[in-house]
Structures are given as structure tokens and as C-alpha cells.
Amino acid sequence: MDERLRFVVEYKDGLTTMTALCDSYGISRETGYTWLARFDREGPSGLVDRSRRPHHSPRATPDHVVQALLEARRRHPTWGPKKLLGRGWRLPERPALSTASALLKRHGLIGGAPRRRRPGHPGRPTTPITEPNGVWTIDFKGQFRTGDGAWCYPLTLVDAFSRYLLACRILPSVRTAPTRAVLERVFREFGLPARIRSDNGAPFASAWALARLSPLAVWWIRLGITPERIQPGRPAQNGRHERFHRTLKRETARPPAATLDAQQRRFGRFRREYNEQRPHEALRQRPPADFYVPSARPYPKTLPPIEYPADMIVRRVGPSGSMAWNGERVSVSHTLIGQDLGLTEIDDGRWRVQFGSLLLGHFDERRWRIDPIAAASAGALAGFAGSRPVVKNANKLSTMSPD
């Protein structure tokens, strides 16, 4: 700027021509006249560098496309550019993902990408997820109080393959009875899955029962459903569900509603949008409803009996939680009261004890006790070979995996 100011002063002195002065400064005559005109109009401030951005750009995003993108973001304030562009863009001009990100950032609707630390090993689920209704995941989102001070315990149930939200219901507690009532309604509407994955908390597991079986897990086994539990202290093994809870909390409980009824209505609206409208990253920006189909296994009117091979000895667990053996009682588990167990001799005085196809442990006649299986007590339950349902139209995602 100092050189430009000296150029103008020398020209104003009239001691040289414009051509000679421009040659001495190494600029063209057009540039010299431009600086002179700016100085005459604006004074020294006219010699400051100006933006070289063109006034018009033929490749700029049209205003109506920009406004449509901003309006979509305002309707869905938690959706990023991928989700906003994934729901069937109807305008003739569809901006690129990078362009949409830049426009949203320019208008202050999104921030920069956060720095991510390199994650550790996320844990390994016990069963591969390859089809709808193969694995459902269940959990209670952390309880919180609504505006009127009432406690809210949201129970969520998700199909792990399609991410379809099967249920999101507020319960008064984490007890077995209300949880079972919700599951019965879901089973009647969508059928039975092959497995249900959960953590080791109530009512899904019982810390002091054989194989940690809870009454709810016993009911699942009677229905032909494998109760599958993650390892204690490894929530990453159910990472899909944990990540879903973060989205649920952000969009429905910050802040909580005024009453339980109002909070449940929020959950209902979220469930419809999540299943039918909200694009999912793992589903190629399509909603879960595009990939979920109900199970081909209907919910039975009565619990089917558990049948054991003819070479197994069957014993029923009595009201005291024990079974009869050679005129004596052997302690089993209070959660298995009224259920039939199958025993197979594997060595002299040593028997394998099963509930259905689930291996519970080994009964030792010398010690008169059942030693639990380490894998079962750890919550893996990998030994249960439950039947998998036949799913119609499962090839809708045959070329991709939601993982």
C-alpha cells in the first residue's frame, strides 16, 4: 500500500508521464489508472487490497437450492448433510455432499468435524448379524425425571440388522412384569426373533441364578429365543444399541418433557420418523423401514413344551428350586421352578445338565452339586443352538451388510 501511495503522489506532482511512471513501478498503465481512480474516489483507503472473488459465478449453487437445504436443516436440526441429501432430493439440482457441508457451515448450522481419538478394540458380538430378526437388542435407556418429577424408564427394542425400532415404551420400573408385557405386544405384532441380546442387568439376567438365567430369559427359551448377553463391563459389544440411545436422548430428552404422557408422545413421534424417514449411515442413507420385514415365526398362544431325546433323564425343578435325585434334593435355581431339565451321563457319577438346548452345568453326584459352565455364567450363552426363523424377502439387503 505504501508503494501505491508513493505512485499516486509522484503522479500528482506532474514530474513524469503515466507511461514512464508505470514502467518504473513495473505495472501496466491500466493498473496505474485504476489506483489513481480509487484514490480520487476513496482517498488512501481505496488503495487497500480488495477481494478477488468474482461478482458472479456460473457454478455457484442456485439460491433456491440453498434455501431448500437450509429449510430442511431447520426442520431436522440434528441431521447432518448426508441425511439431508439422502431422503430423495426432489429439486433438479442436487448439491454435492461437500457443497452441502460448506453451505451449512457458512450459515452457522453445523460446526467443524471434531477430532477423533483412535478407538480401541470395540469388543466382539457373540453372533454375526446377517438378516432381519436374527438378533434383536434390548436395553433400558438411563432413567431420568420428567418435568413433573416422575421417574421415566424407557425400554427400547431394536432389530440389529435393519436398525428398525420395534418398541420405545416408558415403564414405571425395570421389573420383569411390565417388560414382559411390552415384549408380548411386540411379539404379537412382529413375530419372534432368533436371539435377543442384552446386558447383564435386571430384568434380563439374574446375578445369583444358574447361568444367570432370569425369569424373562427362561420365558424366551421356552419360546425358542436364545438369550444372548454381552460380557460384563463390555457395553461396546452392544454398541449399536448404545449409539442409538445417544440419538434418542439428544432428540427426545434434552430437555425432558413436562409429563410422562408428553414424553411418551415424543418417543412415538421419534419412532415413526426414525423408522420411516430418517436416513441411516449403515443403510446407505435409507431408513430402517426399507429393510425390515416381520418374522416368519408367530407368537404362540401357549408356551410349547421342551422336548428332550429319549436317552436323556428328565427332572422337573420343584417349588424350592431343586430337583429330585435318588430320593434326595439337588439345588438348581429359583428361576427354573416348574421347568424340565435334561441330564446326560458323561462320566461315572457326572452328568451334563441342560435346559432346552442350553448347557447349564455339570452335576457331580460325589459333591451333590451342579457346577456352572464358565462361559454360561460369563453371559455368552454360546452353547444354545436355538432355531433361526425363516425370513421372507431378506435379500433386500443381500449385497450389503449394515456393519
Question: pLDDT digit string (tens) for 314-359?
Answer: 999 999 999 999 989 999 999 999 999 999 999 888 999 999 888 8
Note the pLDDT tens digit of each residue in 94-135: 888 889 899 899 888 888 666 654 443 334 456 789 999 999
Residue 395 has pLDDT above 60, yes or no: no
Q: How far apart are CA 286 and CA 88, in angstroms?
A: 9
Out of 54-63, 136-145, 270-279, least confident range: 54-63
Residue 370 has pLDDT above 80, yes or no: yes
Grid cell 452328568 is found at 351
Preceding omega of 255 cis (within 30 degrees of 0): yes
Sign of CA dihedral 71, 77, 80, 85: negative
Confidence at residue 51, expressed as pLDDT on a 0 to 100 scale: 84
Quick one: CA torsion of 242, 245, 249, 251, rounded to 10 degrees?
120
Quick one: CA torsion of 78, 80, 84, 87, rounded to 10 degrees?
-90
Confidence at residue 309, expressed as pLDDT on a 0 to 100 scale: 93
Please, which pLDDT band fits residue 219 given cuts at 50, 70 and 90?
very high
Where residue 164 falls (left for φ over 0; alpha for ψ -120 to 50; beta otherwise) is: beta
Note the pLDDT tens digit of each residue in 255-276: 999 999 999 999 999 999 999 9
Helix then strand count (H, E) for the chain reads 11, 13
Q: What is the mean pLDDT of the chain?
A: 85
This model's pTM is above 0.85: no
List CB contacts of 231: < 8 A, sequence separation 6 or more: 123, 237, 378, 379, 380
Helix axes 260-276 and 239-252, enclosed angle (nearest 10):
120
Confidence at residue 398, expressed as pLDDT on a 0 to 100 scale: 37
| Beta-bridge partner residues of 169 | 155
Q: How far apart are CA 103 and CA 138, in angstroms?
A: 38
